[in-house]
Structure 1
Amino acid sequence: MTTDIKNNINSGFLLTRQVQDKHDAILITLWLKSEVGPVKLEIHNELAIFFIELTHREKAKQLLIDQKTSLAKEQIVSLKTFKQNPVAAFYFSNLRSFYRAREILKLNNIKCYEDDIRPDDRFLMERHITANIDYISQQHKIKVLVDNQYQLAQQVKCKRAAQGAVNQHLSMLSIDIECSMQGELYSIGLYAANSVNNNSEVTNEKLGSEEQNAFKRVLMIGEPQNGADEYIHWQADEKQLLKAFIKEVTLFDADIFIGWNVINFDFMLLQKRCDLHNIPFAIGRDGSAPYWRKNANNEDQHFIELAGRVVLDGIDLLKTATYSFPSFSLDNVAQTLLGLNKKVTDVENRVEEITNNFNHNKAALAAYNLEDCRLVWLIFEKTQLLAFAQLRAQLTGLAIDRVGGSVAAFTNLYLPKLHRSGYVAPNMGDGVSGLISPGGYVMDSKPGLYSNVLVLDFKSLYPSIIRTFKIDPMGLIEGLKQAQANNLNGIEHIDNVISGFDGAYFSRTKHFLPDIIESLWLERDKAKLQKNAALSQAIKIIMNSFYGVLGSTGCRFFDPRLSSSITKRSHEILKSTSVWIEALGYQVIYGDTDSIFVSIGAEKSKDEAQSLGTQLQKYINEKWQQKLKDDFTIESQLDIEFETHFTRFFMPSIRGSNVIKDQKSIGTKKRYAGVVNKKLIFKGLETVRSDWTELSKTFQQELYRLIFNDEPIDDYITQIVTELRSGQHNDQLIYSKKIRRPLNDYVNTPPHIKAALIANEKIIKLSTNSNNTTHQSLYKHRSLIRYVMTLDGVQPFEFNTSKLDYDFYVEKQLKPIADDILPFIGKDFESISGNQMGLF
């Protein structure tokens, strides 16, 4: 393929997009990665657009004339609002006029539809372009910079890439900085494994055999040291360090920068230090500096835009991919996913060690800096985060670095289809208000200790309901029209509508969301067959987000009749399924959103349980096919699967309810434990919670293991209580908790906040001591505080000198866990541990 000859159809993957006024006209800039490298597309003379209802057309035109606001053109279009009002389109040749006109009309109570959609987003949406782009250029140039080059394509026409277009390989560079508490830079690390780059001056003779093509670089302030690793490049001062960094990233010419909190810490600090030294932070592909934006809802969060390059933060991307960790610190995530740790002796006090190494052992600091870069790279590889981000962009049209964005993804997919059916999108707040849509159905559980519990799970229940019952924003509008025309009132169905809840009716034929989900579903099935985990996960997240989007007031298509027609239908489905199962003689002990837990009796063998699970799956699916055909004349897309066989299972009671005296004690929700294939599984219990001590988790796991295996438990409980009181488990009695709000916002002071305030007093006192070199930062919003309970009350762990309160830990950490399960085997914690408690 030749992408450097004009008039040929060329292809690329969309990296970044930008829209701006240039020479009083709109210029859209798209940066792509193609087979021959980076390409900058310039699309000139696009028009910005919004719509107004036709009844306001003449008044709106006159207002703009009076305010001397330029209107490029206006015309009546074959579109209407959800209230069936025809509209006119107002076009503007530059953004300045567009924003000014929008403001004028709103001040005069004239509603503007779709006025929040950027011209670059609309340009891509209208062409159904997501990430892969085919384009033709009338003018093509090679732009040569000092250290690299890119292609500039002008007078461009674009379209969605052909089906099955091959993904462009995107190059990554992992970046990490080390600095003092005051923000003075020490070093900057750069790492890319298996990376061959013609521009990069890589000469690493000492690479291990597993990293022959790895790019390693640590830019370090200091004098060259004999015997230091060759990947260390020495810099005279901070100014030279920054210039060297800019040159390195320009030479490497990566498509993607990755790191850990890399935007809000590393890049933000690099920008500040460049500003301090009056150095242009010229790391864009065309030599431009970054454009920074703040999160309107969180002033601590910033977004960075670079010409032709993308910055992906590992923490944000893991959360977007639905990963969850008690702590998203690099050390914890690397340990959990990779079994690797940071190269630092004391992670909690690493700043002091970093500063000490900078002053006395720069080689150790360089190794630490480079290892942080490598750990981020390995996490990206392990979790396929880049592939996930690329596939998400291809499926939804979201920018590859977009955090969250479920509403935007829905809009990208839905809006072009809506226009082709003759509607403009509603504005936020246009939907019906006053109705409340319930959440997922959670059944009251039946507490107990069971043998043989089967879990039957509806596969992607909410998307299945949308597909089955044709739930769709435009489908609701069309369905209500049909219902009104037929004077329907609570009738389940007629030929062209399906009834929902809260007065909703949905068109059987005019809808898009069910078809969008069906196409995604088929792609996910293919991804599973191909064992493409990243694609399968991306599709699952997108499909499951659609319910949340329809139920969010932040979405222009929000209407509680949509979300309630999903959740109330799910309640109905779980309740009916439970009735059918119990009619067969089995006990339903719990149900949660899309899962049903069935006790089938202790006498069943493992093979019999497996066979019964398969039978129940077939039976329930057939029942739903027949019921929906009879009641609604629709084909069921519901699919229940036999998912899990717990050989032993425990559902606790709500704490405070006496299981022995009150046989009708209330069961908990979303909290249980069981054994699957000889492996202990915990849900919602202390073992999987971050705000309980390590001892409580160890205690719970072993206690449950003994009980599930019908082994004696008295000696174990006695031993743990004795060992705790003798100080053998002090290192497991530390609480860790994140500070969720600014410290001043807490009215009632919980223990972790008391610990943070005490620690801050100590830190301030130490910092005023001229003989102390500790540079520990104060605890604040989003900090993780570690603390212990002592005879003098709560104390921050790092400053504690008091004796631990062992009675507290026995009473608050061991006893509640034991008393959850012991009554079900006729025992209680006090009777077992009483003698030991009396000895101390």
Structure 2
Amino acid sequence: MSSTELQGFILTRHWRDTPAGTELEYWLATDAGPVKVVLTAQVCVAFVEARHRAEVEAQLAAAPGPELRELELKTFHQSPVIGVYAKQFRQLGRMARILQPLGIPLLEADVRPHDRYLMERFIFAGVRVEGNRADGSTIVDCKLKPAPEYRPALKVVSLDIETSQDEALYSIALDGMAERVVFMLGESPLHPSSEPEEPTDFSLIYCPTRRAMIEQLNDWFERNDPDVIIGWNVIQFDLRVLQKTADDCGVQFQLGRERRPIHWRTHPGKQGYLFAPTPGRLIIDGIDALKAAVWSFPSFSLESVSQALLGEGKAIGDEYDKMAEIERRYQEDKPALALYNIRDCELVLRIFDKTKLLQFVMERAQATGLQADHFGGSIAAFSHHYLPRMHRMGYVAPNVGEIASKAFPGGYVMDSKPGFYDSVVVLDYKSLYPSIIRTFLVDPVGFAEAANTDDPAMLVKGPQGTTFSRTRHCLPEIVTTLSLARDEAKRVRNEPLSQALKLLMNSFAGVLGASECRFFNPKLVSAVTLRGHEMMKLTREFVERRGYQAIYGDTDSTFIWLGRTHTNEEAHAVAASLVRDINDWWTRTLREEQGLENFLEIEFDTHYSKFFMPTIRGSDVGSKKRYAGLSTDAAGKEEMVYRGLEMARSDWTPLARQFQEGLLSRIFRGEPYKEFVTDYAQATLAGRKDDLLVYRKRLRHRLDAYQVNVPPQVRAARIADEYNGRVHRPRQYQNGGWIQYVMTRSGPEPLEARHSRIDYEHYLSRQLQPIADAILQPMGESFMALTTAQQGLF
């Protein structure tokens, strides 16, 4: 037996029931390499109200196993509870099912043991391992403690495959580690048909069978032993195809450490969506990671994202030409296919490096307590932070569904005042909902404590008669800790950590309003959102007492018209004065009226030297969440900003977006615009803008699901797949996807099967005219008046 102490970063976690008790397994990345920690004979716990003790004991007599123990804990309704302790976690699940028909809830029985072990010790991702037995790279029955600062250097491999149209495996590429390789199906050519396009810096290994390819892949993973597998749609496509190939060949697909298989799971709410838990290795899909980090692209295809971020792509033609070229290379030029395959791996590695995605994923794991390759999970992250603190306050959590789902107010949106404006400044409340939670002590435990408190001086009053304890609460402290950590991350310029903490804090109010969360309570989330409404209205009143006009507001932002044209320096000075005075007012008011410390902070966001707020189409009512402006920073640098307008929406054609941008920018800069409108319309009719006429829309359902209302994109997709069938190509759109089409005189037609003439009148009346009229109407102009003045335009 030997003692050990080291730091590690949790890669994967797993539990299993054994005769001796529940066993927990954690794979760690450490400076000394991968380490497996095994904790044996763990006891699992749930809770039941003490008033049900007799009924529970009767059930235990019939189905022995769990034991009852006295505890100093209670429910939110102040009902004492007793602990239900079991050797095996599944015993708790069985007990919950037995008690359910009796109307007896078994509380927290669904908290998985490997998660509970970590959360109750305030461990998130970084851990310190103390003692006990070390058996090679496995440590048994040690103690884990938090090591929040520890971040190892992870070994990363980028994986990509190439297949035929019907997903028959052709090649597997692996890049990012010293042994860069492509495994190719087939025999090595005796006389290569061509020289490689460029020198190859990877090994090309030919495999006579697909079984041999999988075996080579298994050996590569055991030999190189990466911590992280990255890719593009890597789980839903690459690993799924590799697993199916292995199954068809009768060979094990051993991607995990210790040559263990993937433990495939399906998503309960997404048909066909797969999870791929893999012992000892993280699997991070680039698309999921970018979305989790709030990156946005018109398309998340590897080609589109790499063009946007790196200025280069991977394309070898459209979807059909690409498959034909892959097939040609496989049949005639396998080295060229290998090069194409590994270049995709390179692009993914460079995207991860450019966006610091791996750093973000690691910081997110440390911030949330979730496994690093688990995205979404805001409810689980809330629970990881909240449950251990709640237990130490003497409470156990309710079960999901204890409070019936009910609507509650959302964020505040002020009615807008449409038109063109000079000198509009925008002030934003920093982290509005977290700061409300922190200032007004909104909290599930605090809410329960307030209901049991007789002293009004110990209560904070919230909207709709809610009250919260001034002294006993959990969530405000959690938000404070995270907020201070984010301030420090910003100070040291750790942007991935700052972003992870911001997203986590901003999710808390939403979690309280999610009916699938055990802490769901409409009164709690309303105490946050309605307080936000009150703050926005009071801010508007404050601004207007100063002689300015609030022309729009949205959740945490107030748009203030300064009443006349200001220089950039003057506008910034006014904004700074308003920020200082509003924050001082909140600090003074909260202290004097409620005895509360103020964490509400309004900040200057933007100065728009020119600003446009449109009306709702077809009315004179101001729109919401739609505007454009010419922003000017402190140095005088100008930028056109669009929010919610056609320019910012991918479901409008490039023709419409470029027209809107051109028209607004000319008006904002005081340049002639009438000629631009007529010239643009004439060029459209003359066919000089045909490359801008393409609609790109998503099919959210199967094609056969559209029966009554059939939108244009569905009609185009049906034409495309009918054509694909006739020319013996795979049908692309039967299960949804993205379709590109144009409007012709025969209706919508897909790009891959267009035969009719373009319907230019459609583009003028449905794309250009609505945009032009929304902008020109406040100026007393119209699209029709300008264009019909040009002889023969219509």
The verdict on a shared fold, with TM-score over 0.5 as the criterion, is: yes
The equivalent of 1:62 in structure 2 is: 58
Residue 188 of structure 2: SS of its match in structure 1? coil
CA distance in 1, matches of 2:772, 2:296: 27
Deviates more, 1:16-25 or 1:707-716: 16-25
Q: Does 1:574 align with 2:536?
A: yes
CA distance in 1, matches of 2:782, 2:443: 54
Residue 298 of structure 1: SS of its match in structure 2? coil
- The Cα shift of 1:317 comes to 1.1
CA deviations 1:462-503 (Å, max 9, x no partner) are: 111011100011011111221xx25xxxxxxx4211011223
- The Cα shift of 1:343 comes to 4.1
- The letter of the residue matching 1:733 is L
The equivalent of 1:822 in structure 2 is: 776
Residue 467 of structure 1: SS of its match in structure 2? helix
Q: Does 1:159 align with 2:154?
A: no
CA distance in 2, matches of 1:462, 1:384: 27
CA distance in 1, matches of 2:773, 2:440: 46
- The letter of the residue matching 1:586 is Y
The equivalent of 1:408 in structure 2 is: 380
Which 5+ residue runs of structure 1 have no aligned equivalent?
A: 143-150, 197-201, 203-215, 487-493, 658-664, 768-773
Q: Does 1:388 align with 2:322?
A: no
The equivalent of 2:668 in structure 1 is: 708
**8 Å Cα contact 1:16/1:32 also seen in 2:** yes
Seen in structure 2, the aligned counterparts of structure 1 residues 434 and 760 have a Cα distance that, compared at 3 Å, is closer
Residue 299 of structure 1: SS of its match in structure 2? coil
The equivalent of 1:190 in structure 2 is: 174
Which of 232, 236, 241 is the matching residue for 1:260? 232
Residue 429 of structure 1: SS of its match in structure 2? coil
CA distance in 2, matches of 1:361, 1:244: 22
**8 Å Cα contact 2:185/2:207 also seen in 1:** yes
CA distance in 1, matches of 2:28, 2:771: 56
The equivalent of 1:662 in structure 2 is: none
**8 Å Cα contact 1:343/1:371 also seen in 2:** no
The equivalent of 1:116 in structure 2 is: 110
- The Cα shift of 1:744 comes to 3.0
CA distance in 1, matches of 2:444, 2:670: 55
Alignment of 1:656-735 (within 5 A): 656-657=618-619, 665-677=620-632, 678-735=638-695
CA distance in 2, matches of 1:640, 1:834: 49
**8 Å Cα contact 2:8/2:150 also seen in 1:** no
- The letter of the residue matching 1:30 is Y
Alignment of 1:44-55 (within 5 A): 44-55=40-51
Alignment of 1:123-162 (within 5 A): 123-142=117-136, 151-161=137-147
- The letter of the residue matching 2:445 is M
Which 5+ residue runs of structure 2 have no aligned equivalent?
A: 633-637
The equivalent of 1:209 in structure 2 is: none
Which of 401, 409, 416 is the matching residue for 1:429? 401
- The letter of the residue matching 2:544 is E
**8 Å Cα contact 1:445/1:591 also seen in 2:** yes
Poorly superposed stretches of 4+, deviation over 6 Å: none
- The letter of the residue matching 2:88 is N
The equivalent of 2:472 in structure 1 is: 510
Which of 744, 749, 758 is the matching residue for 1:804? 758
Seen in structure 2, the aligned counterparts of structure 1 residues 155 and 496 have a Cα distance that, compared at 3 Å, is same
CA distance in 2, matches of 1:96, 1:711: 72
- The Cα shift of 1:362 comes to 2.2
Deviates more, 1:798-807 or 1:756-765: 756-765
The two structures, once aligned, show a CA RMSD in angstroms of: 1.6
Seen in structure 2, the aligned counterparts of structure 1 residues 106 and 280 have a Cα distance that, compared at 3 Å, is same
**8 Å Cα contact 1:788/1:804 also seen in 2:** yes
CA distance in 1, matches of 2:626, 2:185: 53
Seen in structure 2, the aligned counterparts of structure 1 residues 89 and 537 have a Cα distance that, compared at 3 Å, is same
Which of 252, 257, 260 is the matching residue for 1:280? 252
CA distance in 1, matches of 2:663, 2:223: 58
The equivalent of 1:620 in structure 2 is: 582
Residue 778 of structure 1: SS of its match in structure 2? coil
Q: Does 1:14 align with 2:14?
A: no
- The Cα shift of 1:79 comes to 0.5
Residue 468 of structure 2: SS of its match in structure 1? strand
Alignment of 1:582-661 (within 5 A): 582-657=544-619
The equivalent of 1:207 in structure 2 is: none
Alignment of 1:730-749 (within 5 A): 730-746=690-706, 747-749=708-710
Which of 18, 37, 48 is the matching residue for 1:41? 37
Residue 265 of structure 1: SS of its match in structure 2? helix
Q: Does 1:790 align with 2:744?
A: yes
- The Cα shift of 1:155 comes to 2.2
Deviates more, 1:354-363 or 1:784-793: 354-363
Seen in structure 2, the aligned counterparts of structure 1 residues 361 and 777 have a Cα distance that, compared at 3 Å, is farther
**8 Å Cα contact 1:739/1:780 also seen in 2:** no
- The letter of the residue matching 1:589 is I
- The Cα shift of 1:230 comes to 5.4
Residue 26 of structure 2: SS of its match in structure 1? strand
CA distance in 2, matches of 1:633, 1:279: 69
**8 Å Cα contact 1:722/1:836 also seen in 2:** no
- The letter of the residue matching 2:58 is Q
- The letter of the residue matching 1:676 is S
Which of 217, 226, 233 is the matching residue for 2:181? 217
CA distance in 2, matches of 1:736, 1:796: 10
CA distance in 2, matches of 1:268, 1:403: 19
- The letter of the residue matching 1:265 is F
Alignment of 1:78-477 (within 5 A): 78-142=72-136, 151-161=137-147, 165-192=149-176, 195=177, 202=179, 216-225=180-189, 226=192, 227-228=195-196, 229=200, 231=202, 232-346=204-318, 349-431=321-403, 433=404, 436-477=407-448
Q: Aligned pair count?
A: 780
CA distance in 2, matches of 1:8, 1:761: 66
- The letter of the residue matching 2:646 is E
- The Cα shift of 1:233 comes to 2.0
CA distance in 2, matches of 1:190, 1:435: 50
- The letter of the residue matching 2:643 is K
- The Cα shift of 1:781 comes to 3.9
Deviates more, 1:119-128 or 1:347-356: 347-356
**8 Å Cα contact 1:693/1:734 also seen in 2:** yes
Alignment of 1:23-38 (within 5 A): 23=19, 25-38=21-34
Residue 90 of structure 1: SS of its match in structure 2? strand
CA distance in 2, matches of 1:357, 1:699: 42
Q: Does 1:537 align with 2:499?
A: yes
Deviates more, 1:218-227 or 1:386-395: 218-227
Residue 286 of structure 1: SS of its match in structure 2? helix
Seen in structure 2, the aligned counterparts of structure 1 residues 121 and 166 have a Cα distance that, compared at 3 Å, is closer
- The letter of the residue matching 1:221 is L
CA deviations 1:491-539 (Å, max 9, x no partner) are: xxx4211011223100111011111111111111111111111011000
**8 Å Cα contact 2:4/2:133 also seen in 1:** no
Give the TM-score normalised by the residue count of structure 2.
0.96
CA deviations 1:710-744 (Å, max 9, x no partner) are: 11112211211111111111111010011112223
- The letter of the residue matching 2:366 is Q
The equivalent of 1:211 in structure 2 is: none
- The letter of the residue matching 1:138 is N
- The Cα shift of 1:322 comes to 1.5
Residue 495 of structure 1: SS of its match in structure 2? helix
CA distance in 2, matches of 1:369, 1:777: 24
CA distance in 1, matches of 2:436, 2:330: 59
Residue 55 of structure 1: SS of its match in structure 2? helix
Seen in structure 2, the aligned counterparts of structure 1 residues 139 and 519 have a Cα distance that, compared at 3 Å, is same
